[in-house]
Amino acid sequence: MNRRSFLSKVSQGVLGLTALDCLEGQATAGRAAGRTEAKNWMWVLKGSENLKPDEQTRKFEQIREAGIHAVLLGSFNADVLARATEQGLETHSWILGLRQSEKQFMDEHPDWYAVNRLGQSTAKAPPYVEYYNFLCPSHEAVQDYLAKVVSDLGNLANLDGIHLDYIRYPDVKLPVGLWKKYNLVQNKELPQFDYCYCRVCRDAFKKQTGEDPLTLPDPTTNAAWRQFRYDSVTRLVNRLADVAHERGKKLTAAVFPTPSLARKLVRQDWVRWNLDAVLPMVYHNFYNEKPKWIERAVKDGVAALPPNRPLYAGLFLYALNSEEEFDQAVKYARAGGAKGVSLFGGLRKVKPG
């Protein structure tokens, strides 16, 4: 089976893969024993609401038959949610978190956006790609806005959970496998990619430590300033977790592949987040690694998490060239301790996520 055929079949949920068949058996056994954490996930991009009702039903039926238990949906259409639920799938709404790129939103709230060490806002000068417009997590108004988004989603019937994507700062360093694509060498933290130095962050840090981060001798090596930003994202996520749980919904997040890489590249300290599950993006090709690296990355995450918090390994289908390589990647994830996998992919150019 060639790569195009492989990816096409997986994206349609019609490829019966050996590794997923094995996981389906393990998940069934786990549920019989009262354990529900073993499952596989799939990202379903916007567009499902444009299918005819019978086509929607068949699509979700195929996904479930392929060994998928939960879908991450870009659409919150009530009919789409209902049809996915009817096919026995968990439904999780996929929201973009701190990345907000709508022009009207940016025009209305320009002061909410993260600012780099050069004083440039992501609303006006986004790094890397034009849609990298990131809000600053330290703003109380930003926290209130996202809390309302999560609370409103809590009203949806047939929705099991809310999934946070882009719940982080912009990449202070890109994964090494992407440097060539963007014609960059990031052996150190460069000021144009170092966030956030907005007035809210600077004032809060100065109140906490007596120092303005912009006047530190070297902001990139200051442990307190680094911790301040970890804590800013952590407080936001834990507030959203409280809101989701009050509304009877689970909260999950897409995070960078290991605790150390997440802190280093995007200021995510996801081990401290009160999530129901984490979905690390163990995209081996982003780090110039072979699929075997997936096992090591998963082990790092599982070892750092509380024992009752499941980890589902995010697999990047663009980087897997055959059914056999996919099977291998799933087995590496399981060997590392993942409770299942989450599948993301299609035929397009790789961009940072």
Summarize pLDDT for 2-34 with one digit per residue, the tens: 444 544 455 444 444 455 555 555 455 444 444
Query: How are beta strands 250-255 and 161-164 bridged, if at all?
Result: parallel
Q: What is the pLDDT of residue 342?
A: 96
pLDDT value at 37 more than 90: no
pLDDT value at 75 more than 50: yes
Share of the chain above pLDDT 90, in %: 78
Q: Between 150 and 48, name the one with better pLDDT.
A: 150
Residue 168 buriedness (CB in 10 A; 0-12 / 13-18 / 19+): buried
Q: SS3 for 194?
A: coil
Banded pLDDT at 36 (limits 50, 70, 90) = low
Distance CA 239, CA 47 (A): 31
The model's pLDDT over 107-129, given as tens digits with 9 standing for 90+, comes to 999 999 999 999 999 999 999 99
Q: How many CA atoms lie within 13 A of 352 on its CB side?
A: 26
- List, in sequence order, every residue forming a beta bridge with 43; answer none if it has no partner: 72
Decide if 92 contacts 73 (C-beta within 8 A). yes
Mean pLDDT of the chain: 89
DSSP string, 104-119: HHHHH-GGGB-BBTTS
Distance CA 195, CA 170 (A): 7
Write down the pTM of the prediction. Answer: 0.90
CA dihedral over 286, 292, 296, 299, signed as positive or negative: positive
Share of the chain above pLDDT 70, in %: 86
- The structural domains of the chain, ordered by start, are 3-111+138-186+233-344 (3.20.20.80)
Q: What is the mean pLDDT of residues 193-206?
A: 98
Tokens 């780090």 locate to 287
Q: What is the pLDDT of residue 116?
A: 98
Chain centroid offset of residue 204 CA:
27
pLDDT value at 283 more than 90: yes
Q: What is the pLDDT of residue 45?
A: 67
**109-135 burial, b for 16+ CB within 10 Å, e for fewer?**
beebbbbbbeebbbbeebbbeeebbbb
Q: What is the mean pLDDT of residues 231-253?
A: 98
pLDDT value at 136 more than 80: yes
311 closest CA partner among 40, 28, 6: 40
Q: What is the mean pLDDT of residues 93-103?
A: 96
Q: What is the pLDDT of residue 345?
A: 72
Distance CA 67, CA 15 (A): 9
Tokens 């401290």 locate to 272
Left (φ > 0), alpha (ψ -120 to 50) or beta: where does 145 sit?
Answer: alpha
> Cα angle vertex 55, ends 53, 57, to 5°?
70
Q: What is the pLDDT of residue 48?
A: 67
Q: What is the mean pLDDT of residues 340-351?
A: 63
Please tell me the least confidently modeled range out of 48-62, 203-217, 236-250.
48-62
Banded pLDDT at 349 (limits 50, 70, 90) = very low
DSSP letter for 307, please: T
